[in-house]
Amino acid sequence: MAQDHPHDHEHLVGQVPSDPALRIKALESVLLELGLVDPATIDAWIETYETRIGPHNGAKVVARAWVDPAYRQRLLADGSAAIAEMDLLGVQGQHMVVVENTPSVHNLVVCTLCSCYPWPLLGLPPRWYKSAPYRSRAVMDPRSVLREFGVELSPDVEIRVWDSTAEIRYLVLPERPPGTEKMSEGDLASLVTRDAMIGTARVGPPSTRTP
Amino acid sequence: MAQDHPHDHEHLVGQVPSDPALRIKALESVLLELGLVDPATIDAWIETYETRIGPHNGAKVVARAWVDPAYRQRLLADGSAAIAEMDLLGVQGQHMVVVENTPSVHNLVVCTLCSCYPWPLLGLPPRWYKSAPYRSRAVMDPRSVLREFGVELSPDVEIRVWDSTAEIRYLVLPERPPGTEKMSEGDLASLVTRDAMIGTARVGPPSTRTP
Amino acid sequence: MNGIHDMGGMHGFGPIAPEPGEAVFHETWERRMFGLRRAMTSPPGFSIDRFRFLRETMPPAIYLTWSYYEHWYFATALSLLQAGMITIDELRTGRAAAGRPKRNDAMRPADVDHAMRAGGKFARAVNTPPRFSLGQAVAARNLNPTGHTRLPRYARGKRGLIHHWHGGHVFPDSSARGGGECPQHLYTVMFSARELWGGDAAPNDKVYLDLWESYLDPT
Amino acid sequence: MNGIHDMGGMHGFGPIAPEPGEAVFHETWERRMFGLRRAMTSPPGFSIDRFRFLRETMPPAIYLTWSYYEHWYFATALSLLQAGMITIDELRTGRAAAGRPKRNDAMRPADVDHAMRAGGKFARAVNTPPRFSLGQAVAARNLNPTGHTRLPRYARGKRGLIHHWHGGHVFPDSSARGGGECPQHLYTVMFSARELWGGDAAPNDKVYLDLWESYLDPT
C-alpha cells in the first residue's frame, strides 16, 4: 500500500483503451465480475448527486441567514453546527466555514491543488471550477478571474480568496440584493445561484437575475 | 510586435498539420516562396552543426587546460577570452564561464527555463538536456540526477549547479583522470566526453572509457 | 510532491470557460465513473489522501489532457493495480481473469444515504495543545517532499497570521502514503496577497489557506 | 510569466533518459526546422528573448507534448503570424497566397560562418555603476510578471550572495516584449541549496543563477 510502483503509470496510460468510455466501462465490468461493486449502488450515488443534492441546498442556508439574524450569526460563528441544524452536512462538506460578503469584502473559493468543493451544499463542482485556468489564477489574480465572470470590483474592496487545502469546505454568504425586503425565505432561496456561493457572482435583484 | 494575440495560439495548434514533418515542410515551403529563406543557407547551418561543431571543440579546450597550467588559469579567470584564443566562441556561446571540478567540488550545468547550452563548444544539446525530467530535477535534486547517469558522489562533495538563466554559458572542466600523465593534448581531448563537460559524467581513465 | 497539480500562481492556461446551464455530468462515462468510485470497494488503507496523491502522480502531460473523471479513473485503477486487486489485462479487456474469486461485500444501495450523510469526517483528537494562537505570526516552511502534501508551493516560505484553529485533523502527508492518520492541529492562515505575489498585488487582498501545524514555524 | 516552462523544482516528470550515441538530429524535420530557424528572415524586432517568450506561451499541455524543435516551429510560426508575414492558411497548406511579393534579402550560405562566429553577443554598456558588489547579500524579488522573465519561481524571495558581476547585458524582460534592449548589470548569484529547498537539501550544495540587477534587492 505504502509503496509506489512508478512503472505502473506508463503501463496504465499506455495499455488501457484510449477512449474514456471504453476505459471506464472496462473498469466497471471487471469490478462487477469480481464483486467489488453493486451496479444498483452506482445508480444510487449518481441519482443522489444528479437530483437530490445541488446548489438549492446551499441556497436554503443563505436564505435562512438573510431572514434570520440569529441564524446568520450562528452560521458565521460555526458553519458546521448551523448547517447541521438544517441537516445539510455530508461527505465533502462535514467541516464547513461560511464567509460573508459585504460592501467592502468579497470572498472567493478555490482549490488550487485539486477540486475540493462543498458537495452537500452545492452538488458536484462545475467544469470550470476544476479547470487549470481557474485553479491557477484565482489565488494570484482574483480580479481578472472575477472580470471573466462579469464581476468588476472596486480597487477598495478587499478580496479574500479561500484555498481549500484541507477538509474544511467554504461557502460564500452573498450580499442580499436590494428590493428583496418583502420576499419569503423560499423565494429568496430561488435567487441564490451556485456561482454566488463560490464567489464568482453576486446575487442580482429579482428582476435582473440570470440563471 | 509588442502585442500578443492569444487567439493565435489555439488557432495555430489546432489548424496546422498534426504531423510535425508536414507542418515544418509547409512552413519551409511558404518561406521559400516568399523569399524569406534560401534553402542552401538552411543546408549550410545544418552542415555546420552536424559536422563542424560538437563536443570535440570543448574537449580541445579541456585538454589544453589539463596540459597548460597558465592556460587553465586564464580559462577559469575569463572563459570567453581564453576560449577566444582557440577561436571557439560563437553564437550561443559568446559569454563563457568555465567551472572546475575538484575532488571536493562537482559542477553541473542546466537550463531550467529553456535549454541554453554552449553550442560552439558542445554542439546542439542532447534530448535529455532539453527534457522536463532533467530541467526540473537538476536544481533541486542533483544527486538523484547524477545517480541516473551512474555518477555517485560522496555526501562530502559540494555540488554546484549552474542554471543558465542569462546568455552566460557554462562549461565544466572535468578532473583529469589518473594514468594520463604521459598522454598528448590530442589524445587527452579524445578522452573528454560531452557529458563530462555538462557535469553528468566524469572522465574515466583511458582503459575504462565508455563512449 | 511539487507536481503539475500544484497550479496556484501559474500563468498560461488561458481563459476560464463557464458553461451556462451546465449539466452535472457531460458524458455517460463521467456519470458512471463518479458512481463507481463512490460505490466500489477500495483497497485496504485507501483514503481520500491516497486518492489525491495517485492523481498527482499522473504523467504531467496526461494530467493536463485527461479530464476530471479520467483523473478519477487513473487513481482508482492505479490503486487497484498497486493492491493486486486487478491486473492490467483486466483493465484492458474489461474481463476478469479466469478463476478469480468473487466477493460479496460491496456497498448496497441502502447504504448510500448514510454514507453520504456521515462520510468524510476528518476531525480527530490531538493530545498536545495547539502550538499557535490566534493572531500569531507564522511562516510556512520550505518543504519539498516527494510524497503528498497540502502545502502549495506558492505559500512556502511566506509569512502570515493564524486566523482560525480547527482542532486536530487527519494529516494527509501521512495518510496518503499509508502511514496512518497521525492527526495534527489544523489552522487557517491568512496571507496578504503582497506577501505571496509581491508589490503588484492589491494592497488589501488576502489569501487564506488551511495548514497543518508541522507546515508552520513561528516567526 | 509563471509558465509551464519554469520547471526548476518540479517533481513527477519521471526518469532522465540519456541515449547512448545520440545523433545530432533524430528526424529529418528536426534538422530542417533547425536550419530554417537559423537561416530565415525574422520579423522586425525579433530577438532570442521574443523567441523564448513565444515558446513559453504554448498551451501547457502542448508544451509538454510537442518536442523541442516543435517548440521552435510554434514560436517561429507565431512570430510570423503576429507580424503579418504569413497567414494561417499558408501555414496549413504550405503554399503562399496568390500575388504575394517575393523578397530577395534572405541570408546566404556564405553568411553562415560569420553569423555563427559573431552572432549572439549580449554584453552592452550600462552607464550607471553596478548596485551590488562581490560577496554582497541579496534577495531575489518576488516578481510575478505576465510577460517574459528569466527569474525562475524557485529563486524568488530567496537570499543569496553576489558571486560574479558580468557587466551590462540585454534585459530579456524588455527585449521579449519588443521594448528595446534596456541593458542592466548582470550578476551570478549563489544560493545555498538549503535556502532554496529547505533543510533536507545537502548542506554544502549550491545553485548559481545569472540574475539582472532589477531582479535583486539588498538584504
Q: Which member of A6, A132, A140 has the closest CB to residue D144?
A: A140
List chains touching C (3+ CB pairs under 8 A): A, B, D
Helices (H) and strands (E) counted in chain A, each on its own, are 12, 4
DSSP state string for C67-110: -HHHHHHHHHHHHHHHTTSS-HHHHHHS-PPTTPPPP--PPPGG
Separation between Cα atoms, residue C208 and residue C140, nearest integer Å: 12
What ipTM did this prediction achieve? 0.96
DSSP A48: I
Do the Cβ atoms of C141 and D198 come within 8 Å? yes
pLDDT tens for B81-90 read 999 999 999 9
Grid-cell match 497548406, residue found: D93
Mean pLDDT of chain C: 97
Selected catalytic residue, list A29, A80, A116, A190: A116
Do the Cβ atoms of D144 and C198 come within 8 Å? yes
pLDDT tens for A125-139 read 999 999 999 999 999
> What percentage of chain D has pLDDT greater than the value 90?
100
Cell of A205: 435583484
Q: Which member of A30, A127, A145 has the closest CB to residue C94?
A: A30
Residue A114 annotated in active site: yes
**C-alpha distance from D29 to closest chain B C-alpha (Å):** 5
Of B156, B196, B160, B210, whose CA–CA distance to B62 is shortest? B196
Average the pLDDT over C151-167 and give the result. 98
Q: Which residue of C has its CA nearest to A106?
A: C205
What integer pLDDT is reported at residue C128 of this predicted model?
A: 97
Do the Cβ atoms of D12 and C198 come within 8 Å? no
Give SS3 for D202: coil
Asked if D197 reaches chain C (Cβ–Cβ under 8 Å), the answer is: yes
Asked if A78 reaches chain C (Cβ–Cβ under 8 Å), the answer is: no
Q: Which residue of C has its CA nearest to A167?
A: C122
Q: Count B/D contacts: CB-CB distance under 8 Å.
A: 330
Mutate: best of A19, A100, A137, partner C, most C CBs <10 A: A137
Residue A200 scores a pLDDT above 50: yes
Q: How far are the Cα atoms of A73, A121, A178, A179, D52 from residue A183, in angstroms, in the given order?
A: 21, 22, 11, 9, 58
DSSP D180: -
pLDDT tier at A206, thresholds 50, 70, 90: confident
Residue type, C202: A
Asked if B13 reaches chain C (Cβ–Cβ under 8 Å), the answer is: no
Q: Which residue of D has its CA nearest to B54?
A: D24
Half-sphere exposure of C204 toward its Cβ, with a 13 Å CA cutoff? 11
Residue C123 scores a pLDDT above 60: yes
Asked if D97 reaches chain B (Cβ–Cβ under 8 Å), the answer is: no
CB contacts under 8 A, C 29-88 vs B, are 60
> What percentage of chain B has pLDDT greater than the value 70?
93
**C-alpha distance from A28 to closest chain C C-alpha (Å):** 7
Regions of chain D with pLDDT less than 70: none
Give SS3 for B89: coil
pLDDT tier at A110, thresholds 50, 70, 90: very high
Residue D166 has φ and ψ, to the nearest 5°, of -100, 5
Residues pairing with B96 in the sheet = B169
* Antiparallel, parallel or unpaired: β C206-212 and A158-163: parallel
Q: Which member of A91, A112, A162 has the closest CB to residue C120?
A: A91
Mean pLDDT of chain B: 94
pLDDT tens for D128-164 read 999 999 999 999 999 999 999 999 999 999 999 999 9
Do the Cβ atoms of B140 and C14 come within 8 Å? no
Residue type, C63: Y
Asked if A6 reaches chain D (Cβ–Cβ under 8 Å), the answer is: yes
Residue type, B29: S
Residue A111 annotated in active site: yes
Q: Which member of A30, A91, A145 has the closest CB to residue C95?
A: A30
Half-sphere exposure of C152 toward its Cβ, with a 13 Å CA cutoff? 30
Do the Cβ atoms of B136 and D116 come within 8 Å? no
What integer pLDDT is reported at residue A3 of this predicted model?
A: 44
Q: Tell me the H-state helices in chain C.
A: 28-39, 48-56, 60-65, 68-82, 88-93, 112-118, 172-175, 193-197
pLDDT tens for D39-48 read 999 999 999 9
- How buried is residue A7: exposed, middle or buried, by Cβ count under 10 Å (0-12/13-18/19+)? exposed
Separation between Cα atoms, residue C119 and residue B123, nearest integer Å: 60
Grid-cell match 514533418, residue found: B21
Do the Cβ atoms of B140 and D6 come within 8 Å? no
Query: B-chain residues within 8 Å CB-CB of C15?
Result: 6
Residue A9 scores a pLDDT above 70: no
Residue C129 scores a pLDDT above 80: yes
pLDDT tier at B206, thresholds 50, 70, 90: confident
Selected catalytic residue, list A80, A104, A115, A190: A115
Helices (H) and strands (E) counted in chain D, each on its own, are 8, 5
Q: How far are the Cα atoms of B96, B108, C120 from residue A126, in angstroms, in the given order?
A: 52, 45, 21
**C-alpha distance from A81 to closest chain C C-alpha (Å):** 13
CB contacts under 8 A, B 35-74 vs D, are 35-38, 40-46, 48-50, 53-54
* H or E element in which residue C169 lies: strand C159-169
Residue A6 scores a pLDDT above 60: no
* pTM for this entry: 0.96
Residues pairing with B106 in the sheet = B159
**C-alpha distance from C100 to closest chain A C-alpha (Å):** 7
Asked if B6 reaches chain C (Cβ–Cβ under 8 Å), the answer is: yes
Q: List residues of B with catalytic annotation.
A: 111, 114-116
**C-alpha distance from C134 to closest chain A C-alpha (Å):** 15
pLDDT tens for A27-84 read 999 999 999 999 999 999 999 999 999 999 999 999 999 999 999 999 999 999 999 9
List chains touching B (3+ CB pairs under 8 A): C, D
**C-alpha distance from A131 to closest chain D C-alpha (Å):** 13
Do the Cβ atoms of D151 and B165 come within 8 Å? yes
What integer pLDDT is reported at residue B1 of this predicted model?
A: 37
What integer pLDDT is reported at residue D173 of this predicted model?
A: 98
**C-alpha distance from D178 to closest chain A C-alpha (Å):** 24
Query: D-chain residues within 8 Å CB-CB of B44?
Result: 35, 39, 109, 112
The Cα angle at residue B156 between residues B200 and D188, in degrees rounded to 5 = 60
Residue D184 has φ and ψ, to the nearest 5°, of -135, 160
Return the beta strands (E) in A34-187 as ranges.
95-100, 105-110, 158-163, 168-173
